[in-house]
Copies of this chain bind each other. A is one copy, B any other.
Amino acid sequence: MADVARLAGVSAQTVSRVSTGHPGVIDSTRAQVLAAMKELGYRPNSAARALKRGEFRTIGVLLFTLATTGNSRTVEAIANHAAREGYAITIIPVAAPTQDGVLGAFTRLGELGVDGAIVILEVHLLDSTRITLPPGVQVVVVDSDAGDTYTVVDTDQADGARQAVRHLLSLGHATVHHVTGPASSFASERRADAWRSVLASFDRAAPAPIVGDWSADSGYAAGLQLADDPSCTAVFASNDQMALGLLRAFQERGRNVPGEISVVGFDDIPEARNFLPPLTTVHQDFAEMGRRCVQTVLRQIRNEVTTPGTTLVPTRLVERSSTAPPPSL
């Protein structure tokens, strides 16, 4: 900066004013400074800026994996909205889905130069008293019911699942089987709860759910099991990948979808409309998730206040060709 000032024949402060776009610099001066900056290839040093300003203009995103569609799309939306607000995002991978892994990630978060953080983690990993948030770092949590402690933004899991199950029942199915995500997942738990409660509200017996792990393979395994149960005419899978596995299993066992069995997924990944048959599924608005996360953290950062509470992002059922009335009708 000093070099630029010298070359432009002004003070360092004027250079600073130009580089921050401050008003009160006459055009001719500004032009000189800009020329000098260009000639010397000057770039403001962000560390010094952050030090001086006391803010980093960076948001940390803590997550365990980017491999799930939901996470990667949420992160993408977060990155885009943050960029629009002039914030960068830093990914902080959680080494292992354990208390220690989370603890380590939070430690790094604290050392990292971040004004706020978005935590995309199963909540039960968060409730440890050992985790101390870096002071001054505002946090927003996704996929969690910690609404009384943290600020939470989440997809309306329950409503999505309700729509799925009601859709199947309204087609005439006697009941709906369910393939869940892993037990550790809050989202999966919510969806299962909603599934159970809708069945209960219609006085239908809830078959024992089959526990999957989000992978298509686990859906396939579940499908092999369900295919042999002639009473099974409708399955609600907790995500689209598992639904894909179901479709394959039913196809291999000669059970026609949707003729004999209907399948509904969750997420509406882009591929879902090209499954065989095209999948009826619950659409999640990941872009909106990201937008609200960013909006919420930024509000907290700017106000320096934490307001616990949960924001729900609505879902909607997308009807395609994997659902139909049961064969008996």
List the interface of chain A (C-beta within 8 A of B). 41, 43-51, 56, 58, 65-67, 72-73, 75-76, 79-80, 83, 88-93, 95, 108, 110-113, 132, 134-135, 215-217, 219-220, 241, 244-245, 247-248, 251, 270-271, 273-276, 278
Determine the residue in chain B with the shortest Cβ distance to A132: B41
Report yes or no: A50 in contact with B113, Cβ–Cβ below 8 A. yes
Identical subunits present: 2
CA gap between A49 and B248 in the complex, in Å:
54
Report yes or no: B90 in contact with A43, Cβ–Cβ below 8 A. no
Main secondary structure of the interface of A (DSSP, over half): helix
Of B46, B65, B72, B244, the contact of A66 (CB 8 Å cutoff): B72
A-B contacts, 7 listed (Cβ < 8 Å)? A46-B50, A48-B51, A65-B76, A66-B76, A217-B270, A244-B274, A244-B275
Report yes or no: A66 in contact with B58, Cβ–Cβ below 8 A. no
Residues of B within 8 A of A93 (CB): 76, 79-80, 83
Q: A58-B90, A72-B72 are in contact. Are A46 and B111 (CB under 8 A)?
A: yes
Residues of B within 8 A of A79 (CB): 66, 91, 93
Report yes or no: B67 in contact with A56, Cβ–Cβ below 8 A. no
Residues of B within 8 A of A65 (CB): 76
Of B43, B46, B276, the contact of A276 (CB 8 Å cutoff): B276
Report yes or no: A251 in contact with B276, Cβ–Cβ below 8 A. yes
CA gap between A58 and B113 in the complex, in Å:
11
Q: A47-B56, A276-B276 are in contact. Are A244 and B216 (CB under 8 A)?
A: no
Report yes or no: B88 in contact with A91, Cβ–Cβ below 8 A. yes
How far is the CB of A245 from the nearest CB of chain B, in Å?
A: 5
How far is the CB of A282 from the nearest CB of chain B, in Å?
A: 18
Of B47, B244, B245, the contact of A50 (CB 8 Å cutoff): B47
Of B47, B83, B216, the contact of A273 (CB 8 Å cutoff): B216
Report yes or no: A90 in contact with B88, Cβ–Cβ below 8 A. yes
Report yes or no: B248 in contact with A278, Cβ–Cβ below 8 A. yes
Report yes or no: B216 in contact with A113, Cβ–Cβ below 8 A. no
Residues of B within 8 A of A56 (CB): 46-47
Of B41, B47, B89, the contact of A90 (CB 8 Å cutoff): B89
Determine the residue in chain B with the shortest Cβ distance to A75: B66
Report yes or no: A83 in contact with B66, Cβ–Cβ below 8 A. no
Residues of B within 8 A of A91 (CB): 75, 79, 88-91
Residues of B within 8 A of A49 (CB): 47
CA gap between A294 and B101 in the complex, in Å:
21
Report yes or no: B270 in contact with A216, Cβ–Cβ below 8 A. yes
Q: A88-B90, A90-B88, A275-B248 are in contact. Are A47 and B270 (CB under 8 A)?
A: no
How far is the CB of A115 from the nearest CB of chain B, in Å?
A: 11
Residues of B within 8 A of A46 (CB): 50, 56, 111-113
CA gap between A317 and B270 in the complex, in Å:
25
